[in-house]
Structure 1
Amino acid sequence: MVTQQIRSWDVTNKKILESMLSIHREEFVPTQQRKLAFADIALPLGHQVYMMKPVVEGRMLQAIDLQANETVLEIGTGSGYVTGLMAKLCQHVTSIDLHEDLIQSAQNKLQEAHIDNTALEVADFFDYEPGKQFDAIVITGSLKALPKHVFSWLKPDGRVFAIVGQDPIMEARVYTAADEYSSHFDTLVTPLQQAKQHQPFLL
Protein backbone atom coordinates (compact mmCIF):
# COMPACT_ATOMS: atom_id res chain seq x y z
CA MET A 1 0.00 0.00 0.00
CA VAL A 2 2.64 2.51 1.06
CA THR A 3 4.84 1.91 -1.97
CA GLN A 4 2.14 1.60 -4.59
CA GLN A 5 -0.39 4.19 -3.44
CA ILE A 6 1.00 6.72 -1.00
CA ARG A 7 4.33 7.46 -2.66
CA SER A 8 2.70 7.62 -6.09
CA TRP A 9 0.48 10.44 -4.80
CA ASP A 10 3.44 12.64 -3.80
CA VAL A 11 3.59 11.66 -0.14
CA THR A 12 7.37 11.71 0.28
CA ASN A 13 7.81 12.56 3.97
CA LYS A 14 9.97 9.74 5.34
CA LYS A 15 8.54 9.94 8.87
CA ILE A 16 4.98 9.56 7.55
CA LEU A 17 5.89 6.61 5.33
CA GLU A 18 7.66 4.92 8.25
CA SER A 19 4.68 5.44 10.55
CA MET A 20 2.33 3.95 7.93
CA LEU A 21 4.62 0.94 7.63
CA SER A 22 4.84 0.47 11.40
CA ILE A 23 1.10 0.58 12.15
CA HIS A 24 -0.96 -2.23 10.60
CA ARG A 25 -3.94 -0.53 8.97
CA GLU A 26 -5.85 -3.79 8.70
CA GLU A 27 -5.97 -4.02 12.51
CA PHE A 28 -8.03 -0.79 12.63
CA VAL A 29 -10.48 -1.82 9.89
CA PRO A 30 -13.76 -3.58 10.82
CA THR A 31 -13.26 -7.35 10.59
CA GLN A 32 -15.61 -7.77 7.62
CA GLN A 33 -13.70 -5.07 5.71
CA ARG A 34 -10.14 -6.31 6.28
CA LYS A 35 -9.68 -7.56 2.73
CA LEU A 36 -10.27 -3.98 1.62
CA ALA A 37 -7.91 -2.40 4.17
CA PHE A 38 -5.46 -1.27 1.48
CA ALA A 39 -7.97 -0.47 -1.27
CA ASP A 40 -8.25 3.10 -2.51
CA ILE A 41 -11.75 3.53 -1.09
CA ALA A 42 -13.34 5.01 2.02
CA LEU A 43 -14.45 2.20 4.36
CA PRO A 44 -17.66 2.38 6.45
CA LEU A 45 -17.30 2.31 10.23
CA GLY A 46 -20.98 2.66 11.13
CA HIS A 47 -22.96 5.79 12.10
CA GLN A 48 -22.42 7.04 8.50
CA VAL A 49 -18.74 7.52 9.42
CA TYR A 50 -16.06 6.44 6.95
CA MET A 51 -12.37 5.66 7.22
CA MET A 52 -10.51 7.93 4.78
CA LYS A 53 -8.73 6.54 1.76
CA PRO A 54 -5.09 5.70 2.56
CA VAL A 55 -3.89 8.33 0.07
CA VAL A 56 -5.95 11.07 1.74
CA GLU A 57 -4.59 10.06 5.15
CA GLY A 58 -1.02 10.30 3.89
CA ARG A 59 -1.50 13.62 2.11
CA MET A 60 -3.30 15.06 5.14
CA LEU A 61 -0.40 14.16 7.43
CA GLN A 62 2.11 15.60 4.97
CA ALA A 63 0.14 18.85 4.79
CA ILE A 64 -0.05 19.37 8.57
CA ASP A 65 3.65 18.38 8.99
CA LEU A 66 3.62 17.36 12.65
CA GLN A 67 6.77 17.69 14.74
CA ALA A 68 7.99 15.40 17.51
CA ASN A 69 7.49 17.99 20.29
CA GLU A 70 3.96 19.03 19.31
CA THR A 71 0.53 18.34 20.80
CA VAL A 72 -2.42 17.69 18.50
CA LEU A 73 -6.21 17.79 18.75
CA GLU A 74 -7.93 15.40 16.35
CA ILE A 75 -11.61 16.00 15.56
CA GLY A 76 -13.19 12.71 14.51
CA THR A 77 -11.41 9.67 15.94
CA GLY A 78 -13.16 7.17 13.68
CA SER A 79 -11.19 3.93 13.55
CA GLY A 80 -8.25 5.36 15.51
CA TYR A 81 -5.80 4.65 12.67
CA VAL A 82 -5.00 8.30 11.94
CA THR A 83 -4.82 8.89 15.70
CA GLY A 84 -2.13 6.24 15.88
CA LEU A 85 -0.21 7.65 12.91
CA MET A 86 -0.18 11.12 14.45
CA ALA A 87 0.87 9.69 17.81
CA LYS A 88 3.94 8.27 16.06
CA LEU A 89 4.76 11.71 14.65
CA CYS A 90 4.16 14.01 17.63
CA GLN A 91 4.31 14.19 21.43
CA HIS A 92 0.62 13.67 22.27
CA VAL A 93 -2.76 13.39 20.54
CA THR A 94 -6.11 14.31 22.08
CA SER A 95 -8.92 12.91 19.93
CA ILE A 96 -12.69 13.37 20.16
CA ASP A 97 -15.61 11.64 18.48
CA LEU A 98 -19.38 11.68 18.86
CA HIS A 99 -19.73 7.91 19.07
CA GLU A 100 -18.80 6.04 22.24
CA ASP A 101 -18.44 2.68 20.48
CA LEU A 102 -15.93 4.13 18.00
CA ILE A 103 -13.96 5.69 20.86
CA GLN A 104 -13.87 2.39 22.75
CA SER A 105 -12.86 0.40 19.68
CA ALA A 106 -10.15 2.91 18.77
CA GLN A 107 -8.84 2.88 22.35
CA ASN A 108 -8.60 -0.91 22.27
CA LYS A 109 -6.78 -0.91 18.93
CA LEU A 110 -4.30 1.74 20.08
CA GLN A 111 -3.57 -0.24 23.24
CA GLU A 112 -3.02 -3.39 21.17
CA ALA A 113 -0.56 -1.43 19.02
CA HIS A 114 1.24 -0.22 22.19
CA ILE A 115 0.46 3.43 21.44
CA ASP A 116 -0.06 5.22 24.75
CA ASN A 117 0.49 8.93 24.04
CA THR A 118 -3.17 9.53 23.24
CA ALA A 119 -6.31 10.61 25.11
CA LEU A 120 -9.70 9.79 23.59
CA GLU A 121 -12.95 11.47 24.56
CA VAL A 122 -16.61 11.32 23.53
CA ALA A 123 -17.50 14.89 22.58
CA ASP A 124 -19.21 17.05 19.95
CA PHE A 125 -16.83 19.37 18.09
CA PHE A 126 -19.57 21.97 17.70
CA ASP A 127 -20.06 22.18 21.47
CA TYR A 128 -16.54 21.37 22.69
CA GLU A 129 -14.32 23.24 25.13
CA PRO A 130 -10.87 21.66 25.30
CA GLY A 131 -9.61 23.82 28.17
CA LYS A 132 -6.11 23.99 26.69
CA GLN A 133 -4.33 24.90 23.48
CA PHE A 134 -2.61 22.74 20.88
CA ASP A 135 0.13 23.12 18.30
CA ALA A 136 -2.08 21.60 15.61
CA ILE A 137 -5.72 20.66 15.05
CA VAL A 138 -6.69 18.02 12.50
CA ILE A 139 -10.34 17.77 11.43
CA THR A 140 -11.09 14.51 9.63
CA GLY A 141 -14.61 15.34 8.38
CA SER A 142 -15.47 18.06 5.90
CA LEU A 143 -16.96 21.45 6.83
CA LYS A 144 -18.77 24.07 4.79
CA ALA A 145 -16.64 26.66 6.58
CA LEU A 146 -14.17 26.52 9.46
CA PRO A 147 -15.59 28.04 12.69
CA LYS A 148 -13.47 30.94 13.88
CA HIS A 149 -13.56 29.88 17.53
CA VAL A 150 -11.24 26.97 16.63
CA PHE A 151 -8.33 29.39 16.51
CA SER A 152 -8.69 30.09 20.24
CA TRP A 153 -7.69 26.43 20.74
CA LEU A 154 -4.33 26.98 19.05
CA LYS A 155 -1.01 27.94 20.56
CA PRO A 156 0.82 30.88 18.94
CA ASP A 157 1.95 29.85 15.44
CA GLY A 158 -0.40 26.84 15.54
CA ARG A 159 -2.25 25.53 12.51
CA VAL A 160 -5.46 23.73 11.55
CA PHE A 161 -5.98 21.09 8.87
CA ALA A 162 -9.52 21.17 7.48
CA ILE A 163 -11.32 19.97 4.36
CA VAL A 164 -13.65 22.78 3.36
CA GLY A 165 -16.46 22.86 0.81
CA GLN A 166 -19.41 20.81 -0.38
CA ASP A 167 -19.79 17.87 -2.75
CA PRO A 168 -18.50 17.87 -5.48
CA ILE A 169 -15.82 20.45 -4.62
CA MET A 170 -13.81 20.22 -1.40
CA GLU A 171 -10.35 21.59 -0.71
CA ALA A 172 -7.83 20.41 1.88
CA ARG A 173 -6.39 23.46 3.62
CA VAL A 174 -3.95 24.31 6.39
CA TYR A 175 -5.04 27.44 8.25
CA THR A 176 -2.80 29.68 10.34
CA ALA A 177 -5.60 32.23 10.92
CA ALA A 178 -9.28 32.52 10.01
CA ASP A 179 -8.45 34.31 6.75
CA GLU A 180 -5.01 32.80 6.09
CA TYR A 181 -4.56 29.33 4.65
CA SER A 182 -2.61 27.29 2.13
CA SER A 183 -4.37 24.95 -0.29
CA HIS A 184 -2.97 21.40 -0.60
CA PHE A 185 -5.25 19.11 -2.60
CA ASP A 186 -8.84 18.47 -3.67
CA THR A 187 -10.78 15.53 -2.27
CA LEU A 188 -14.20 14.37 -1.08
CA VAL A 189 -14.90 13.18 2.47
CA THR A 190 -18.10 12.88 4.48
CA PRO A 191 -19.19 15.94 6.48
CA LEU A 192 -18.21 16.22 10.13
CA GLN A 193 -21.16 15.08 12.20
CA GLN A 194 -22.96 17.16 14.79
CA ALA A 195 -24.96 15.75 17.68
CA LYS A 196 -28.67 15.83 16.94
CA GLN A 197 -30.54 18.45 18.88
CA HIS A 198 -33.48 17.11 20.83
CA GLN A 199 -36.69 18.68 19.61
CA PRO A 200 -39.32 19.63 22.22
CA PHE A 201 -42.69 17.92 22.12
CA LEU A 202 -45.39 20.15 20.69
CA LEU A 203 -48.84 19.83 22.26
Structure 2
Amino acid sequence: MDIELARFNMVEQQIRPWEVLDQDVLDLLFVVRREDFVPPAWRLLAFTDMEIPLTIDGKPTGEVMLAPKVEARLLQAAAVRRHETVLEIGAGSGYMAALLAHRARRVVSCEIRPELARFATENLSRAAVAGAAVEARNGLEAAAESRWDLILLSGSVPFLPDPLLQQLNVGGRLVAIVGELPMMVAQLVTRVGEREFATESLFDTVATPLVAFPRKESFRF
Protein backbone atom coordinates (compact mmCIF):
# COMPACT_ATOMS: atom_id res chain seq x y z
CA MET A 1 0.00 0.00 0.00
CA ASP A 2 1.31 3.43 -0.96
CA ILE A 3 0.55 5.34 2.25
CA GLU A 4 1.29 8.80 0.87
CA LEU A 5 -0.83 8.22 -2.22
CA ALA A 6 -3.68 6.99 -0.02
CA ARG A 7 -3.36 10.11 2.15
CA PHE A 8 -3.33 12.36 -0.92
CA ASN A 9 -6.42 10.64 -2.33
CA MET A 10 -8.20 10.99 1.03
CA VAL A 11 -7.64 14.73 0.99
CA GLU A 12 -8.34 15.33 -2.69
CA GLN A 13 -11.19 12.87 -3.27
CA GLN A 14 -13.01 12.86 0.07
CA ILE A 15 -12.17 15.96 2.08
CA ARG A 16 -11.68 18.82 -0.34
CA PRO A 17 -14.90 18.00 -2.27
CA TRP A 18 -16.76 18.10 1.06
CA GLU A 19 -16.20 21.87 1.29
CA VAL A 20 -13.04 21.71 3.34
CA LEU A 21 -11.13 24.50 1.62
CA ASP A 22 -9.00 25.92 4.46
CA GLN A 23 -5.50 25.23 3.18
CA ASP A 24 -4.08 25.17 6.70
CA VAL A 25 -6.47 22.35 7.59
CA LEU A 26 -5.65 20.44 4.41
CA ASP A 27 -1.91 20.85 5.01
CA LEU A 28 -2.29 19.62 8.58
CA LEU A 29 -3.79 16.35 7.37
CA PHE A 30 -0.42 15.60 5.76
CA VAL A 31 1.48 16.50 8.95
CA VAL A 32 -0.55 14.46 11.46
CA ARG A 33 -0.37 10.85 10.33
CA ARG A 34 -3.86 9.45 10.72
CA GLU A 35 -2.68 5.86 10.38
CA ASP A 36 -0.65 6.23 13.59
CA PHE A 37 -3.89 6.73 15.55
CA VAL A 38 -5.83 3.81 14.08
CA PRO A 39 -5.92 0.42 15.87
CA PRO A 40 -3.51 -1.99 14.13
CA ALA A 41 -6.27 -4.27 12.84
CA TRP A 42 -7.82 -1.35 10.94
CA ARG A 43 -4.69 0.47 9.79
CA LEU A 44 -5.12 -0.41 6.11
CA LEU A 45 -8.50 1.34 6.20
CA ALA A 46 -7.18 4.51 7.85
CA PHE A 47 -7.87 6.65 4.78
CA THR A 48 -11.24 5.23 3.73
CA ASP A 49 -14.47 7.24 3.85
CA MET A 50 -15.87 5.49 6.92
CA GLU A 51 -15.84 5.46 10.68
CA ILE A 52 -13.07 3.27 12.11
CA PRO A 53 -13.98 1.04 15.08
CA LEU A 54 -11.72 1.60 18.07
CA THR A 55 -10.48 -1.70 19.46
CA ILE A 56 -8.08 -2.43 22.31
CA ASP A 57 -6.19 -5.71 22.03
CA GLY A 58 -8.63 -6.72 19.34
CA LYS A 59 -11.67 -6.14 21.52
CA PRO A 60 -14.25 -3.54 20.40
CA THR A 61 -14.83 -0.61 22.75
CA GLY A 62 -18.02 0.53 21.04
CA GLU A 63 -16.35 3.81 20.07
CA VAL A 64 -15.17 4.95 16.63
CA MET A 65 -12.95 7.44 14.85
CA LEU A 66 -15.16 9.75 12.82
CA ALA A 67 -14.86 9.59 9.04
CA PRO A 68 -11.95 11.73 7.76
CA LYS A 69 -14.16 14.26 5.97
CA VAL A 70 -16.26 14.79 9.12
CA GLU A 71 -13.15 15.32 11.27
CA ALA A 72 -11.75 17.79 8.75
CA ARG A 73 -15.01 19.72 8.43
CA LEU A 74 -15.32 20.03 12.22
CA LEU A 75 -11.71 21.18 12.49
CA GLN A 76 -12.29 23.79 9.78
CA ALA A 77 -15.39 25.09 11.57
CA ALA A 78 -13.52 25.31 14.88
CA ALA A 79 -11.04 27.82 13.37
CA VAL A 80 -8.55 27.28 16.19
CA ARG A 81 -6.09 30.07 16.91
CA ARG A 82 -2.60 29.75 18.33
CA HIS A 83 -3.39 31.49 21.65
CA GLU A 84 -6.49 29.44 22.46
CA THR A 85 -7.26 26.82 25.09
CA VAL A 86 -9.33 23.89 23.85
CA LEU A 87 -11.42 21.19 25.51
CA GLU A 88 -12.24 18.06 23.56
CA ILE A 89 -14.86 15.71 24.97
CA GLY A 90 -14.33 12.19 23.66
CA ALA A 91 -10.60 11.63 23.02
CA GLY A 92 -11.04 8.29 21.27
CA SER A 93 -7.73 7.53 19.52
CA GLY A 94 -6.24 10.98 20.19
CA TYR A 95 -6.26 11.95 16.50
CA MET A 96 -8.48 15.01 16.82
CA ALA A 97 -6.51 16.14 19.87
CA ALA A 98 -3.34 15.91 17.77
CA LEU A 99 -4.88 18.03 15.02
CA LEU A 100 -6.11 20.61 17.53
CA ALA A 101 -2.75 20.72 19.34
CA HIS A 102 -0.97 21.79 16.16
CA ARG A 103 -3.12 24.91 16.08
CA ALA A 104 -3.92 25.74 19.73
CA ARG A 105 -1.92 26.81 22.78
CA ARG A 106 -3.23 23.96 24.94
CA VAL A 107 -5.63 21.04 24.46
CA VAL A 108 -7.30 19.03 27.20
CA SER A 109 -8.94 15.91 25.77
CA CYS A 110 -11.21 13.91 28.07
CA GLU A 111 -12.06 10.26 27.57
CA ILE A 112 -14.44 8.45 29.92
CA ARG A 113 -13.16 4.97 28.97
CA PRO A 114 -9.81 4.41 30.76
CA GLU A 115 -8.56 1.96 28.14
CA LEU A 116 -9.16 4.49 25.36
CA ALA A 117 -7.57 7.27 27.42
CA ARG A 118 -4.41 5.13 27.64
CA PHE A 119 -4.56 4.38 23.91
CA ALA A 120 -4.91 8.07 23.03
CA THR A 121 -2.09 9.05 25.41
CA GLU A 122 0.22 6.45 23.89
CA ASN A 123 -0.62 7.58 20.35
CA LEU A 124 0.03 11.24 21.16
CA SER A 125 3.31 10.40 22.88
CA ARG A 126 4.51 8.23 20.01
CA ALA A 127 3.63 11.01 17.54
CA ALA A 128 5.54 13.53 19.72
CA VAL A 129 2.51 15.81 19.95
CA ALA A 130 3.11 18.60 22.45
CA GLY A 131 0.41 20.70 24.05
CA ALA A 132 -2.26 17.99 24.33
CA ALA A 133 -3.08 16.08 27.50
CA VAL A 134 -5.62 13.25 27.84
CA GLU A 135 -7.62 12.97 31.06
CA ALA A 136 -9.50 9.77 31.91
CA ARG A 137 -12.78 11.27 33.06
CA ASN A 138 -16.09 12.70 31.94
CA GLY A 139 -15.43 15.82 29.89
CA LEU A 140 -18.37 17.62 31.45
CA GLU A 141 -16.45 17.66 34.73
CA ALA A 142 -13.47 19.31 33.07
CA ALA A 143 -15.72 21.79 31.29
CA ALA A 144 -17.13 23.01 34.58
CA GLU A 145 -13.68 23.76 36.01
CA SER A 146 -12.57 26.46 33.59
CA ARG A 147 -13.48 28.77 30.73
CA TRP A 148 -12.56 27.68 27.21
CA ASP A 149 -11.94 29.30 23.85
CA LEU A 150 -13.12 26.17 22.07
CA ILE A 151 -15.08 23.09 23.12
CA LEU A 152 -15.23 20.30 20.55
CA LEU A 153 -17.38 17.22 21.05
CA SER A 154 -15.98 14.22 19.15
CA GLY A 155 -19.25 12.32 19.07
CA SER A 156 -22.94 13.12 18.92
CA VAL A 157 -25.10 14.49 21.74
CA PRO A 158 -28.90 14.82 21.92
CA PHE A 159 -28.73 18.51 22.89
CA LEU A 160 -26.32 21.27 23.88
CA PRO A 161 -26.82 22.15 27.56
CA ASP A 162 -26.74 25.83 28.41
CA PRO A 163 -24.29 25.33 31.35
CA LEU A 164 -21.77 23.91 28.88
CA LEU A 165 -22.17 26.92 26.59
CA GLN A 166 -21.68 29.19 29.58
CA GLN A 167 -18.13 27.83 29.97
CA LEU A 168 -17.09 29.48 26.70
CA ASN A 169 -15.16 32.72 26.76
CA VAL A 170 -16.73 35.55 24.81
CA GLY A 171 -15.68 34.89 21.23
CA GLY A 172 -15.36 31.19 22.02
CA ARG A 173 -16.92 28.42 19.97
CA LEU A 174 -18.49 25.04 20.55
CA VAL A 175 -18.50 22.49 17.72
CA ALA A 176 -20.66 19.40 18.02
CA ILE A 177 -22.90 16.93 16.22
CA VAL A 178 -26.35 17.39 17.74
CA GLY A 179 -29.49 15.28 17.56
CA GLU A 180 -30.62 11.68 17.60
CA LEU A 181 -31.16 9.12 14.88
CA PRO A 182 -32.25 9.49 12.18
CA MET A 183 -31.47 13.24 12.17
CA MET A 184 -28.25 14.84 13.41
CA VAL A 185 -26.68 18.16 12.46
CA ALA A 186 -23.15 19.43 13.00
CA GLN A 187 -23.38 22.84 14.66
CA LEU A 188 -21.08 25.73 15.41
CA VAL A 189 -22.14 27.86 18.39
CA THR A 190 -20.26 31.13 18.99
CA ARG A 191 -20.51 33.15 22.17
CA VAL A 192 -20.81 36.67 20.79
CA GLY A 193 -21.53 38.34 24.13
CA GLU A 194 -22.03 37.57 27.81
CA ARG A 195 -25.67 36.66 27.12
CA GLU A 196 -25.65 36.14 23.38
CA PHE A 197 -24.92 33.06 21.28
CA ALA A 198 -25.03 32.57 17.52
CA THR A 199 -25.72 29.09 16.14
CA GLU A 200 -24.82 27.93 12.64
CA SER A 201 -25.88 24.58 11.18
CA LEU A 202 -22.95 23.16 9.21
CA PHE A 203 -24.02 19.87 7.65
CA ASP A 204 -26.24 16.83 8.17
CA THR A 205 -24.54 13.68 9.39
CA VAL A 206 -24.78 10.87 11.92
CA ALA A 207 -22.25 9.90 14.59
CA THR A 208 -21.90 7.56 17.54
CA PRO A 209 -23.25 9.16 20.74
CA LEU A 210 -20.83 10.25 23.44
CA VAL A 211 -20.86 7.86 26.39
CA ALA A 212 -22.54 9.07 29.59
CA PHE A 213 -23.75 12.35 28.12
CA PRO A 214 -27.02 13.00 29.99
CA ARG A 215 -30.42 13.43 28.50
CA LYS A 216 -32.03 16.85 28.80
CA GLU A 217 -34.18 16.12 31.82
CA SER A 218 -31.25 14.68 33.82
CA PHE A 219 -28.44 17.14 33.02
CA ARG A 220 -26.32 18.30 35.93
CA PHE A 221 -22.89 19.93 36.05
**Normalised TM-score (structure 1):** 0.91
What's 1:171 paired with?
185
What's 1:39 paired with?
48
The amino acid that maps onto 2:19 is: D
**Structure 1 position 148 matched with structure 2 position 162:** yes
- Give the number of equivalent residue pairs: 196
Report deviation, 1:127: 4.6
Which residue of 1, 19, 24 corresponds with 2:28?
A: 19
Deviations 1:111-135 (A, max 9, x none): 1111110111011235555422110
Report deviation, 1:39: 0.6
**Structure 1 position 182 matched with structure 2 position 191:** no
Question: What is the distance in 2 between the residues matched to 1:71 and 1:59?
Answer: 20
Go from structure 1 to structure 2 and tell me whether the alpha carbon gap of 1:151 and 1:10 turns closer, same or farther (over 3 Å shift).
same
Question: What is the distance in 2 between the residues matched to 1:54 and 1:84?
Answer: 14
Which residue of 1, 10, 13 corresponds with 1:4?
A: 13
Maintained 8 Å contact 2:53/2:65: yes
Question: What is the distance in 2 between the residues matched to 1:156 and 1:179?
Answer: 9
What's 2:218 paired with?
none
Provide runs of 4+ in structure 1 moved above 4 Å: 126-130
Go from structure 1 to structure 2 and tell me whether the alpha carbon gap of 1:155 and 1:25 turns closer, same or farther (over 3 Å shift).
same
The amino acid that maps onto 1:194 is: A
What's 1:200 paired with?
none
Which structure is higher in RCO with an 8 Å CA cutoff and minimum separation 6? 1
**Structure 1 position 194 matched with structure 2 position 203:** no
Write the mapping of 1:82-121 to structure 2, written as runs, cut at 5 A: 82-121=96-135
Report deviation, 1:169: 1.0
Maintained 8 Å contact 2:109/2:134: yes
Maintained 8 Å contact 2:144/2:164: no
What's 1:160 paired with?
174
Stretches of structure 2 lacking an aligned partner (at least 5 in a row)? 1-9, 55-59, 215-221
Q: Percent identity?
A: 38
- The 3-state SS of whatever aligns with 1:48 is strand
The amino acid that maps onto 2:89 is: I
What's 1:201 paired with?
none
Question: What is the distance in 1 between the residues matched to 2:101 and 2:165?
Answer: 22
